[in-house]
Amino acid sequence: MTSTTKKIKPKERDTIIQALSAGVVPRLGLPYIQVGRAAEIAALLRDVDRIGDGGACVRFVIGEYGAGKTFFANLIRLIALERKCVTIHADLAPDRRIHATGGQARALYSEAVRNMATRTKPEGGALAGVVERLVTDSVKEAAERSIPVETVIDQKLAPIQEFVGGYDFAVVLKAYWKGSEEGDEELKAAALRWLRGEFSTKTEARQALGVRTIIDDGDIYDSLKSLACLTRIAGYAGLVVMFDEMVNLYKLQSSQARNQNFEEILRIVNDALQGNTSGIGFVMCGTPEFLMDTRRGLYSYEALQSRLAENRFATGGLVDYSGPVLRLQNLTPEDMMVLLTNIRAVFAGGDPERFLVPDEALHAFMDHCNKRIGEAYFRAPRTTVKAFVQMLSVLEQNPTAKWQDLLGQVEVAPDAPDTQPTTEGETSNSGEEGDELTKLRLP
């Protein structure tokens, strides 16, 4: 049976429909609507396997607004979970970025760790389960070897202490074990809070856990590497880190702030490509402007431009998926037809007898979109999918309505991305001046 004829659970059906009608990616049921891009998925699967073998990878998933970057990243995340990896993910925003001095980097880290997922807990919040697994395995091993549990934990945590800040990671994890042994829920909660980067002062952390440091803006990448080591010690294949909406770095008004973030990205790229780290992979999603703009994008930083330059021989329809940059190939009209067919099946719960529209309506809808916005209806399908879902919703709630009458009323317009620079916090938090002319007044 294909995915379009399988019975779909009501919870998954409702989640998919609600998300697509709002133009966002659903957390559940992605395999029911996935189409095309088999080569790109295969390339990321090889990366996931490399992480499981103790390697590292970094990928920049590049596509236009509405082209399906977030959907693609979420699909890879689900596949990574099936391959026994731990995943964390977060969207960049004006108050969340990779490097900062006003708490924005720590906010990104905290958001990502709160979204930690495992195969048994794919919806997020899996940090406690990962740490608990480490403690449980240590207690079991100590009983088998007839040695103290603390000795086993010290042996297991020895690799973490080799990382920058890893000693405090080990101290906090031992504090969690002590809290578990003594039934001290406050100590366990404090340990998890420290691991999530939620302590704002060192004094507070020292009082709660006896450590003299906290995870702060300058420690984000090092903390992620320590976290990756923790997942492997706990018995998982590795850690996959996903950052979406990277275009927010492109929109930073301050050139100094952009360059500091690009320097941190360069560090990640160098470590992954040179084999200086293990068991961790990064997937960063952004637009072509974020990558190629030589004034504000990654290509404005010469060291990154040289490392992320694409294969010159991959032209004329030839592709190369081995480099760090992965450009999402456009969906074809045939892919779009399959996608609409899958969405129709989701509405019907996988029952062909409950289809709201016939195949004829799918062709008519695609022709309608083609006349309104041209080829963008399948190259950047978000708007098209949103309109189709909304039309089916009306048909479902109004059984007497006819799709022929509704089709002429469907408004489809290409995505209009927000091109305004991000200015929030730049001057007040960092004291930096922007590099753009914003206002000019003549007396």
- Asked if residues 381 and 336 have their Cβ atoms less than 8 Å apart, the reply is yes
Span 37-125+237-327 CATH architecture = 3-Layer(aba) Sandwich (3.40)
- Residue 4's pLDDT band, with cuts at 50, 70 and 90, is very low
DSSP state, 117? B
Q: What is the mean pLDDT of residues 348-354?
A: 87
Which secondary structure element, helix H or strand E, spans residue 2, and what is its range? none
- Asked if residues 365 and 32 have their Cβ atoms less than 8 Å apart, the reply is no
29-33, 299-303, 439-443, range with greatest mean pLDDT:
299-303
Look at residue 410 in the predicted model and tell me its pLDDT. 65
pLDDT in tens, 84-121: 999 999 999 989 999 998 999 999 999 999 999 999 99
- Residue 2's pLDDT band, with cuts at 50, 70 and 90, is very low
In the chain, count H helices and then E strands. 21, 5
Q: What percent of the chain shows pLDDT beyond 90? A: 50
Which secondary structure element, helix H or strand E, spans residue 243, and what is its range? strand 239-244
Query: Phi, psi at residue 258, to the nearest 5°?
Result: -60, -45
Q: What is the mean pLDDT of residues 404-419?
A: 66
pLDDT in tens, 249-304: 999 989 999 999 999 999 999 999 998 899 999 999 999 999 999 999 999 999 99
Q: Which stretch of 90-99, 174-183, 430-439 has the lowest confidence by average pLDDT?
A: 430-439
Query: Phi, psi at residue 43, to the nearest 5°?
Result: -65, -40
CA distance 131 to 133: 5
pLDDT in tens, 305-347: 999 988 888 777 777 888 899 988 777 888 888 989 999 999 9
Q: Nearest-5° angle of CA 326, CA 294, CA 250?
A: 70
List where CATH 3.40.50 sits in the chain. Answer: 37-125+237-327
211 closest CA partner among 229, 195, 228: 195
- Asked if residues 255 and 289 have their Cβ atoms less than 8 Å apart, the reply is no
Copy the structure tokens of residue 35: 């189409």
Query: Which residues, including other chains, have CB under 8 Å from residue 293's CB and lie 6 or more apart?
Result: 250, 299, 300
36 closest CA partner among 394, 331, 289, 401: 331
- Asked if residues 172 and 189 have their Cβ atoms less than 8 Å apart, the reply is no
Classify the phi-psi angles of 104: left when phi > 0, otherwise alpha if psi is within -120 to 50, otherwise beta: alpha
- The interaxial angle of helices 127-145 and 149-157, nearest 10 deg, is 120
pLDDT in tens, 220-249: 999 999 999 999 999 999 999 999 999 999
Tokens 């309506």, residue located: 361
pLDDT in tens, 8-23: 888 888 888 988 888 8
